[in-house]
Amino acid sequence: MADFSYDLCVIGSGPAGEGAALTAIKQGWTVCVVDDHDEPGGNCTHWGTIPSKALRHSVRRMVQYNTLPMFRAIGEPRWFSFPEVMKTADGVIQKQVAGRTKEYARNRVAIKVGRAKFLDSNLIAVTAKTGKVTRIAAKHFIIATGSRPYRPDDIDFSDPHIFDSDTILGLKSTPRNIIIYGAGVIGCEYASIFSGFDTRVDLINTREWLMNFLDDEISDALSYHLRDLNVMVRHSEEYAKVIPRDNGVTLELKSGKRIHAEALLWCNGRTGNTNDLGLEALGLEADSRGLLKVNGDYQTSVANIYAAGDVIGWPSLAGAAYDQGRFAASHMCGMADQYRVDDVATGIYTIPEISYVGKTEAELTAAQVPYEIGRAYFKNIARAQISGEEVGILKILFHQETLEILGVHCFGAEAAEIVHIGQAIMSQQGEANSIKYFVRTTFNYPTMAEAYRIAAINGLNRISREHRQVHSR
């Protein structure tokens, strides 16, 4: 017999769970959110996106202070330790928690703290830290439990010199050197963060180039910039053994190389939080990385059980997870206006950052799509010159004949903000989705948005070469 009964029970209070809960409550459903953490927000708020991006922001400001000439008139460069800079994230986390707590309370969403486990498709047991068990029945469930760093069994993560992307936030001092294993999004972000502390970084990439899902030109720019920051990037390497030592960690690679550093940050993959969730009671099974399979409506093979966010894998982005949760709840509520994003913008918070939406050059070439490129370099943009953020490029890919925008790629300061202008035009239909929009629109000056006009003119000039008249003198 259940202690409580609801229309929808959301397991997990991260972005996907929040999006689902608030969408369903607006439709008049009774909703509860179950989370094993005392405060809402999930991994995104407490261990992932928010703390790491707040840390990055503070490091970026420290680097600016230490490199801009005007500050040298005030005094010598100043360096802060990792724990000192990390404290700046605490205030942001508490603001996020307070905002979410207030939103749930205002909308009358019940919060249950404890570990959820399915007993059947309409009933879960929630075990609190005190051991008390509460039974919750619901017509629908959404699994939004997120993910955690993947930990190989042959690495001792209890060693004080070995970290993953969750535990690194508790680092007690700034290492003089660090090995980062895994050059995906998280690994590259932390490589640029630690370089800001003047820490020597060995970035071990198991693939041939950095983040091979990026446009080649953007990947090359990131690789060059990391090396310019004294990050040693090692491609096509795999670990053979991790050896803890009193003075740090030695990493043995299959290629025979041995690398030693004061700390090792493991950033090679993530695992869905589906263990001990009682999936066997539903007849569901997660894959080898703990991820759940869903259909286009985010339903599992059990009709009243949905899943969204990192627990279903790609794209594993906070913004996408929120929208997945909203869409899942819209579908289960039978809403006619179901919201879904096809072209998801990706933001990568290296220093400087990267963002893109749409196709890459390699994808368009493989599909034999005739495209052209428009570029704008930040060094030529007045706003970038004023802010001292001149490293970067905005790149627009568009169809040679229809002029439809096919992809937008940006590398540089505020790239994750800049890309959304291109995303908005890409989402339009017909002639409204044309690179000509940017030459028919007046942009504020000076702004970074002006880069779209510059890139559009650059691209259209390439198209017009074929039709130019040759004048003899």
Quick one: pLDDT band at residue 1, thresholds 50, 70, 90?
Answer: confident
Residue type, 400: Q
Stretch 370-374: mean pLDDT: 98
Write the pLDDT tens digit of every residue in 445-471.
999 999 999 999 999 999 988 766 665
Q: Does 367 belong to an annotated binding site?
A: no
341 vs 33, higher pLDDT: 33
Stretch 264-289: mean pLDDT: 96
Stretch 426-435: mean pLDDT: 90
- What one-character-per-residue DSSP string does 204-249 give? E-SSSSTTTTS-HHHHHHHHHHHHHTTEEEE-S--EEEEEEETTEE
Q: Does 187 belong to an annotated binding site?
A: yes
Maximum Cα interatomic distance, the chain, rounded to a whole number of Å: 94
Stretch 121-143: mean pLDDT: 97
- pTM here? 0.93
Stretch 352-364: mean pLDDT: 97
Alpha-carbon gap, residue 348 to 327, rounded angstroms: 24
Q: Does 358 belong to an annotated binding site?
A: no
Q: Does 293 belong to an annotated binding site?
A: no
Alpha-carbon gap, residue 212 to 361, rounded angstroms: 12
Give the neighbor-by-neighbor strand order of the sheet with 258-261: 239-245, 248-253, 258-261
Q: Does 30 belong to an annotated binding site?
A: no
Taking 80 as the threshold, does the pLDDT of residue 372 lie above it?
A: yes
Q: Does 183 belong to an annotated binding site?
A: yes
79 vs 186, higher pLDDT: 186
Q: Does 276 belong to an annotated binding site?
A: no
3-state secondary structure the chain: CCCEEEEEEEECCCHHHHHHHHHHHHCCCCEEEEECCCCCCHHHHHCCHHHHHHHHHHHHHHHHHHHCHHHHCCCCCCCCCHHHHHHHHHHHHHHHHHHHHHHHHHCCCEEEECEEEEEECCEEEEECCCCCEEEEEEEEEEECCCEEECCCCCCCCCCCCEEECCHHHHCCCCCCEEEEECCCHHHHHHHHHHHHCCCEEEEECCCCCCCCCCCHHHHHHHHHHHHHCCEEEECCCCEEEEEEECCEEEEEECCCCEEEECEEEECCCEEECCCCCCHHHCCCCCCCCCCCCCCCCCECCCCCEEECHHHHCCCCCHHHHHHHHHHHHHHHCCCCCCCCCCCCCEEECCCCCEEEEECCHHHHHHCCCCEEEEEEEHHHCHHHHHHCCCCEEEEEEEECCCCCEEEEEEEECCHHHHHHHHHHHHCCCHHHCCHHHHHCCCCCCCCCCHHHHHHHHHHHHHHHHHHCCCCCC
Taking 80 as the threshold, does the pLDDT of residue 336 lie above it?
A: no
Q: Does 138 belong to an annotated binding site?
A: no
Q: Does 402 belong to an annotated binding site?
A: no
Taking 80 as the threshold, does the pLDDT of residue 104 lie above it?
A: yes
Phi, psi for 371 (deg, rounded to 5): -125, 160
Q: Does 170 belong to an annotated binding site?
A: no
Quick one: pLDDT band at residue 78, thresholds 50, 70, 90?
Answer: confident
pLDDT > 70: percent of the chain: 97
Instruction: Give Cα 113 distance to the centre of its chain.
Output: 26
Alpha-carbon gap, residue 88 to 81, rounded angstroms: 12
Taking 80 as the threshold, does the pLDDT of residue 161 lie above it?
A: yes
DSSP state of 299: B
Taking 80 as the threshold, does the pLDDT of residue 257 lie above it?
A: yes
Three-state DSSP class for residue 435: helix
- Per 3-state DSSP, what percentage of the chain is helix, strand, and coil (rounded to 5)? 35, 25, 40
Quick one: pLDDT band at residue 425, thresholds 50, 70, 90?
Answer: very high
Question: What pLDDT was estimated at residue 471?
Answer: 59
Stretch 123-143: mean pLDDT: 97
Walk me through the domains of the chain, giving residue ranges and CATH numbers.
Answer: 4-149+271-332 (3.50.50.60), 162-268 (3.50.50.60), 352-464 (3.30.390.30)
Q: Does 388 belong to an annotated binding site?
A: no
Quick one: pLDDT band at residue 89, thresholds 50, 70, 90?
Answer: confident
Question: What pLDDT was estimated at residue 430?
Answer: 85
- Range with the lowest mean pLDDT among 63-72, 87-96, 220-229? 63-72
- For the chain, the residue count is 473
Q: Does 184 belong to an annotated binding site?
A: yes
Three-state DSSP class for residue 170: helix
Question: What pLDDT was estimated at residue 152?
Answer: 95
Quick one: pLDDT band at residue 473, thresholds 50, 70, 90?
Answer: low
Alpha-carbon gap, residue 56 to 89, rounded angstroms: 10
What's the token pair of residue 278? Answer: 């009682």
The answer to whether 52 and 43 have CB atoms below 8 angstroms apart is: no
Stretch 389-406: mean pLDDT: 96
